[in-house]
C-alpha cells in the first residue's frame, strides 16, 4: 500500500485511510469550488449590469433634460441659445420701406438680455441680420420676422410696422423676387428690401458690410 494513495494530491495532507482522504477531498477541495457560488455571482453580475444600465439611462435622461433646459426657446426651428453659436456666421442686410418711408430695424431682435440669443438676430439698428448658428443651415426671412415678432420688448413689431400688409414686395440685390417675402433665403451679404405701399424709384442693390 503506497503512501500516495492516502495523500491528498491537491494539498499534500496525509490520511490514515482512503475514506478519510476522500472525505477530506470532498470537504476541503470540492466544496471550495462549488458550482452554486459562480452561478450566484454570475446572476449578481447580471444584476450589476442591469443596475449600471438603469444608472446610464438616468444619467442620459438628466443630461438630456438639463440640455433641454438650457435652450430657452425656439421660434420656427430657430433656437435661442445662452451663448452665441458662431460655427455658421453670415450676415444679410434688410431695408424696410413703408409708405415711402424707411423704417428703422430695431436693435436686439432675437436677443433676450441675460437669457439667450436666437440664431437670427440684430445687434444694432443698421439693418444687419446676424445669422449665427451651431450648424450650417438655410434660414429664411420669414423665420427672422417670426423671431422679430416673438422677441419681448422690441418696438415696433414687424406686424405693426407694416400694418399687417399681405402684399409686401421684396427685392434681393436690386431685383424684385416674385415670391412671398417669408420664403426669401438669407444668404451672406444679401441686400433685401421690403416695400409696403409705393415702390421708391431707386431700390438699394447692395450694402457695405464693412468686414462683416
Q: Which is nearer to Zn ion, 93 or 130 (CB)?
A: 130
Kindly indicate which of the ranges 5-13, 52-60, 126-134, 192-200 contains the residues binding Zn ion, using the contact rule CB under 5 A. 126-134
**Beta bridge partner(s), residue 117:** 81, 111
Residues 65-124 that bind Zn ion (CB under 5 A): none
CB 111 within 8 A of CB 120: no
Q: Which of 6, 93, 112, 130 binds Zn ion (CB under 5 A)?
A: 130
CB 195 within 8 A of CB 169: yes
Kindly indicate which of the ranges 5-13, 131-139, 144-152, 191-199 contains the residues binding Zn ion, using the contact rule CB under 5 A. 131-139
Shortest gap between Cβ of 83 and Zn ion (angstroms)? 10
**Beta bridge partner(s), residue 74:** 79
Distance CA 185, CA 165 (A): 20
What kind and span of H or E run contains 38?
helix 36-70
Would strands 120-121 and 101-103 be described as parallel, antiparallel, or unpaired? unpaired
Q: Which is nearer to Zn ion, 6 or 93 (CB)?
A: 93
Shortest gap between Cβ of 137 and Zn ion (angstroms)? 15
Count of residues that interact with Zn ion, criterion CB under 5 A: 2
**Beta bridge partner(s), residue 73:** 80
Q: Which is nearer to Zn ion, 85 or 199 (CB)?
A: 85
Positions that interact with Zn ion (CB under 5 A):
130, 132
Amino acid at each position: 500500500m503506497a503512501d500516495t494513495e492516502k495523500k491528498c494530491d491537491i494539498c499534500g495532507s496525509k490520511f490514515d485511510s482512503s475514506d478519510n482522504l476522500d472525505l477530506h477531498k470532498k470537504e476541503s477541495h470540492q466544496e471550495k469550488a462549488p458550482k452554486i457560488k459562480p452561478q450566484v455571482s454570475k446572476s449578481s453580475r447580471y444584476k450589476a449590469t442591469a443596475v449600471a444600465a438603469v444608472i446610464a439611462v438616468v444619467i442620459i435622461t438628466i443630461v438630456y433634460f438639463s440640455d433641454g433646459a438650457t435652450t430657452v426657446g425656439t421660434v420656427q426651428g430657430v433656437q435661442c441659445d445662452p451663448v452665441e453659436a458662431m460655427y455658421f456666421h453670415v450676415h444679410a442686410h434688410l431695408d424696410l420701406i413703408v409708405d415711402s418711408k424707411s423704417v428703422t430695424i430695431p436693435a436686439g431682435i432675437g436677443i433676450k438680455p441675460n437669457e439667450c440669443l436666437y440664431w437670427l438676430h440684430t445687434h444694432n439698428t443698421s439693418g444687419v441680420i446676424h445669422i449665427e448658428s451651431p450648424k450650417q443651415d438655410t434660414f429664411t426671412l420669414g423665420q427672422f420676422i417670426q423671431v422679430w415678432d416673438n422677441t419681448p420688448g422690441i418696438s415696433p413689431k414687424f406686424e405693426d410696422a407694416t400694418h399687417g400688409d399681405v402684399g409686401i414686395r421684396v427685392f434681393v440685390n436690386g431685383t424684385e423676387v416674385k415670391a412671398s417675402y417669408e420664403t426669401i433665403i438669407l444668404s451672406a451679404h444679401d441686400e433685401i428690401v421690403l416695400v409696403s405701399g409705393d415702390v421708391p424709384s431707386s431700390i438699394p442693390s447692395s450694402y457695405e458690410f464693412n468686414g462683416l
